Structure 1
Amino acid sequence: MSDVEIRTQRLALRRPRPQDLERCAELLGDYEVARMLSRVPYPYDIELGRRFITSAMANWSDPVGAEELSFHVDRDGEMVGGLSFKELQETPKIGYWLGRPYWGKGFISEAAGAAVAWLFGNTGHERIVCEAMTENPASLKVAEKLGFRVIGEVGCASVSRGGTVPAIRTELTRTDFLNGLSPQKGLTAGQ
């Protein structure tokens, strides 16, 4: 499982690698992207980015025991975003982001759908949660398209804003996902 790559019709989801740091700084250095994420500071911190990538790579050496697994999303060989499953030893929480030039093209819905299919196909988890800031309708729409159901309101920490902002918590069960409440067209998963 440590050499996982997930391919969709237009994208490839792969493990992070050191050479991604410059691209992360470029895409996550955009305040409009960073402000909708919980863990990304603004301005982007290269050293924190380096530590995140190093940790993300190390987690893939023991994916079964890892607390978090991260994918970077490529389009035509160029990194366009990222996706992580956090809290893997409990109920996984999915988080995703996309560089602003790639917004509005359905890329993150496609990537997240493939990642969710991979998680349910390779682990025994029965549900996944997702939290999106209430002022981020695009992220909430991605969760809705995938079949996530609203379960409540929460506070979401935002490093870039220096505080907590209102968010919506959603969940997706394995049963709902496997019963077709989520698109899986064009998905092939290689390990």
Structure 2
Amino acid sequence: MSPVLKTERLVLRAPRPEDLDRCAELLGDYEVAKMLSRVTYPYDLEQGRAYLALSVERWSTWQEAEELGFQIDCDGLMIGGVGFKKLRETPEIGYWLGRAYWGKGYMSEAVQAAVAWLFGNTDHKLVACEAMTDNPASLGVARKLGFREVGEVGCASVSRGCTMPAIRTEMTRTDFLNGH
């Protein structure tokens, strides 16, 4: 069974097929899509439908999953997502919010809860986060939560059709548990 994480203002839950229209609405904004590696612009409904179906399936055997995602709800409305990829290696966290929800502290709250879930439910000792250099808000979330910059990388952007310069940050389990 997939977990439901509750924070002061948010609920993080497993994706559902009925999230498709809301995903299309929020991820159909180029200002959101351009900061993500795997989201097309314009948003592709069939890819979205397949991704949501796969996300539901992954939670049924989450201990074996390579990727896991949470949808972020605020006041009963989906406002974004946070997820982990490379769960068989060093997990990488990624996150996004609909533009109307930027600048309200929601993402710091959601990422904190997701990382707590990761370290509380797996034996990983490290989590990484990569954000494009032209995305200071995402980099700020990582730094605020205690991720440390470890280098420059390239981040593929499907919506832009190129690889963008990005910063890789990492946080250890120990730093997280010690409040970084």
1:20-60 CA deviation, whole Å, 9 max, x = no partner?
Answer: 00000000000000000000000000000001101110000
Give the drift of 1:3.
2.6
CA RMSD across the alignment: 0.5
TM-score using structure 2 length = 0.99
1:109-153 CA deviation, whole Å, 9 max, x = no partner?
Answer: 100000000110111000000000000000000000110000000
Identity of aligned residues (%): 68
Q: Which residue is 1:97 aligned to? A: 96
Following TM superposition, where does structure 1 have runs of at least 4 consecutive aligned residues deviating by more than 2 angstroms?
none
In structure 1, the gaps of 5 or more residues are 182-191
Distance 1:94 1:168 in 2: 13
* SS, match of residue 40 in structure 2: coil
1:76-116 CA deviation, whole Å, 9 max, x = no partner?
Answer: 00000001100001110000000000000000110000000
TM-score using structure 1 length = 0.94
Q: Which has the higher contact order (CA 8 A, sep 6+)?
A: 1
Distance 1:119 1:6 in 2: 11
- Checking the alignment, whether the CA contact within 8 Å between 2:129 and 2:142 is kept in structure 1 is yes
In structure 2, the gaps of 5 or more residues are none
Instruction: Report how many aligned residue pairs link the two structures.
Output: 180
* SS, match of residue 141 in structure 1: helix
Q: Which residue is 2:3 aligned to? A: 4
1:131 matches 2:122: no
